[in-house]
A and B are shown apart, each in its own frame.
Chain A
Amino acid sequence: MDWLFLLIQTLNGIQYGLLLFLIASGLTLVFGIMGIINLAHGSFYMIGAYLAFSFTQMTGNLFTAILLGIPVTLVLGYGVERVFMIHLYKRDHLHQVLLTFGLILIFNELQLMIWGGDPNGVPIPDVLSGSLPISDTLSYPVYRIFLSVVCLVLAGSMALVIRHTRVGMRVRAGAANRAMAESLGVNMRSLSAIVFSVGVTLAGVAGMLAAPVETVYPGMGEQILIISFVVVVIGGIGSIKGAFVGAVAIGLVDVYGQVYLPEIASVAVYGLMAAVLLWRPSGLFGRT
């Protein structure tokens, strides 16, 4: 195992970690910051991927497809918040689990009725479809590098907005103590609606961006649901930095597990989460 091999595998791990952060970014907001256990996160990711598939077929370009898709997910997120989530802010986690479980069932069936059961692919945009040769036989797809850059930009901007802007401050205040924030004049009703729909849009955009490297098929949402929660929880609830570090850690553990310890590869990620939570019971950077 020469050094180049190890280096490339590490790059693979980081790239997979960044993709996981992108996929879990919506959940970091809705679950991490707002404290809503949203099991339907995977469904919004799936809907985003299918929107990208349909709009790319219509317009022929992924980026225009994303631009068309974002308003749809915003409206969807806003609608779901106003109709369903609004009743749950004062309820405990379990009711959120049950309601979002119901949403999974509905979205899965609607997807089948609208798009049918065939697995689909979304073509990588031509400008990004090349590959950089890094060894005589292996080259690295440019699109994955583009995805990593997008993830870094997203992580930075999310941390910036949440940490250093007034909106971010109000969001954190609302998450810490909703009643107190309301009494201090923060309009939690509209703020929750905005944050939830942005969270849903992030999940949708993640689906649109990941569609070219993933397959768009029924049930793709459930595949990423559990790993998204693992990312948020390992990093520590309410911490963007934590989710980022958590995602990269999972990416590396997953890749190294796959290459060096294949027998336990499937349980490596869960082992990591259990270990982290037992060592620091509220995640790496979580507030207790």
Chain B
Amino acid sequence: MKTKFDNISRRRTLGMLGVGVVAAATALPARFAIGGKAKVRIGTLLPYSGTYTRLGQSITNAMELAFAQAGGKLGGRAIELIKIDSEAKPPKAADLTNKLIGREKVDFIVGPVHSGVAMGMAKIAREEGTMMIVPNAGANQVTGPFCAPNIFRTSFSNWQPGHPMGKVLLDEGKKNVVLCYWAYGAGKQSAQGFKDGFVPHGGNVIKEIGIPFPKVEFQSALTEIASIKPDAVYVFFAGGGAVKFVKDWAAAGLKGKIELVGPGFLTEGVTKAQGAAAEGIRTTLHYADTLDYPANVTFRAAYRKAYGKGADVYGVQGFDAGQLIRAGLEAVGGDTGAKADMIKAMEGASIDSPRGKWTMSSAHNPVQNFYLREVKNGVNEVVKLAMENLSDPAKGCTM
């Protein structure tokens, strides 16, 4: 995607002058299409700095891979990608979304990773009616109380990933469990998802240890778990927190004595940093590296060839975002104006994803398989299909 230089419009220059003598950004260009069908403008609002940088990069890489596989054209139109760094800062979310929609005049906005940013983005997308594809942020609200026709999600709701683990533990007779999680939005929702799959079927939650986000001092929690001696411990941590918790768990000698389980984020893409401490940890997620679907094999090969490193679940979610946009645009021959038809096409789409085929729920959240995985020498290997076509209850969505 070559960024082409654009010329300056009189109207825009005056607007800029107005923004303030000191700002003096008069040279900001307008966007003009020169000849032929205008390019499809896709804006990404993803973290390209801060703790979630890696997720932002994985999603963007995989989405560009999906566009490349479509021959660089969607519904006959070339693609222009506009990347904006969300910095995972919610106060900036609404403004940066305005920038994508108001100034860059994009047809699709793809993002974010952080749930707080997702809330800000969704508010503007609902007001402006712009097509919004969420490739990661799992806040239940996005496909719950704040669901909207123009908002789709290709990742998961926080409720989903932990839910199947309840059944897995009960099938193995592990009834007494302790929950330990970061006590913020995603952590609470994931714990609730697990409880909904565990308690109604006879499971007993002995204790819930909530740790303030983003603290990473786990010694006191590990000591408490050791004294309670539960059958298993369900945890929700991601990124740096996941690396540290797994290493502390092993260092405290609990590895092998008490079973450690959780949603896939505990070991997804961080096993290299966790080292031996991650071996044998079982998690449930809508993806695993060793899934033998043809789509997965080709995707992982293409990703490694293009970017020189293994793909992860965040890449799969970005790849599917690209496929979803492609499905929508091809259904309307690239006419982004025909929004209703495009939405109908995307709602009905069956995505042939590396994680296996999945369809869109009425609240626009993936109805997808969840796999039990186990870490074997650094790879999240598939153990079995934990739950088939699990759909988010989408409480509060009136769409």
Contact = CB atoms under 8 A, between A and B. Distances in A.
A and B touch in the complex (CB under 8 A): yes
Interface of A: 2, 5, 8-9, 12-13, 15-16, 108-109, 112, 116-121, 123-124, 131, 133, 135, 137-141, 143-144, 213-220, 223, 254-255, 258-259, 262, 265-266
B95 interface: no
Contacts of B215: 266
A262 B274 contact: no
A16 B248 CA distance: 13
A215 B223 contact: no
A227 to B, nearest CB: 10
Given A12-B223, A218-B50, A141 B252 contact: yes
B222 interface: yes
A131 B257 CA distance: 14
Given A5-B224, A141-B251, A215-B273, 4 more contacts: A108-B49, A119-B239, A135-B227, A144-B251
Nearest to B56: A117
Most buried by B among A135, A137, A266: A137
B254 A137 contact: yes
Interface in B269-319: 269-270, 272-275
A131 B256 CA distance: 14
B49 A218 contact: yes
Interface stretch (B100-108, B204-212, B320-328): B204-212
Contact of B240 (A138, A141, A215): A215
A119 B254 contact: no
Nearest to A141: B251
Contacts of B216: 214-215, 223
Contacts of B209: 262
B66 to A, nearest CB: 21
A79 B20 CA distance: 37
A197 B373 CA distance: 48
B304 to A, nearest CB: 16
Contact of B243 (A9, A138, A215, A262): A215
8 contacts: A9-B224, A15-B219, A112-B53, A118-B273, A120-B273, A137-B258, A215-B240, A219-B51
Nearest to A12: B219
A112 B54 CA distance: 10
Contact of A117 (B57, B217, B272): B57
B226 interface: yes
B51 A121 contact: no
Given A5-B223, A121-B275, A254 B217 contact: yes
Q: Which 8 A-B pairs have the closest CB atoms?
A: A117-B53, A139-B253, A121-B273, A266-B212, A138-B226, A141-B251, A215-B240, A12-B219
Interface in B11-59: 49-51, 53-54, 56-57
Contacts of A140: 252
Given A138-B252, A217-B240, A109 B226 contact: no
B53 A255 contact: no
A216 B207 CA distance: 30
Nearest to A121: B273
B253 A133 contact: yes
Contacts of B211: 258, 265
B251 A143 contact: yes
Nearest to B215: A266
Interface string B327-360: 0000000000000000000000000000000000
A219 B269 CA distance: 18
B49 A16 contact: no
Contacts of A219: 50-51
B385 interface: no
A219 B221 CA distance: 24
Given A109-B49, A120-B273, A123-B275, A215 B217 contact: no
B109 to A, nearest CB: 22
A234 B295 CA distance: 58
Given A12-B223, A108-B49, A213 B240 contact: no
A187 to B, nearest CB: 41
Contacts of B226: 135, 137-138
B229 interface: yes
Contact of A259 (B224, B229, B251): B224
Contacts of B217: 16, 254-255, 258
B202 interface: no
Contact of A121 (B183, B247, B254, B258): B247
Contacts of A135: 226-227
Nearest to A256: B220
Contact of A119 (B224, B248, B273): B273
A140 to B, nearest CB: 7
A119 B54 contact: yes
B148 to A, nearest CB: 31
Interface in B41-98: 49-51, 53-54, 56-57
Contacts of B185: none
A138 B211 CA distance: 20
A217 B239 contact: yes
B214 interface: yes
B224 A217 contact: no
B51 A218 contact: yes
Contacts of B174: none
Contacts of A9: 220, 223-224
Given A121-B243, A258-B211, A262-B210, A218 B252 contact: no
Interface string B225-268: 01101000000000111011001100111100110000000000
Nearest to A122: B273
Given A109-B49, A218-B50, A265-B212, A258 B221 contact: yes
B243 A119 contact: yes
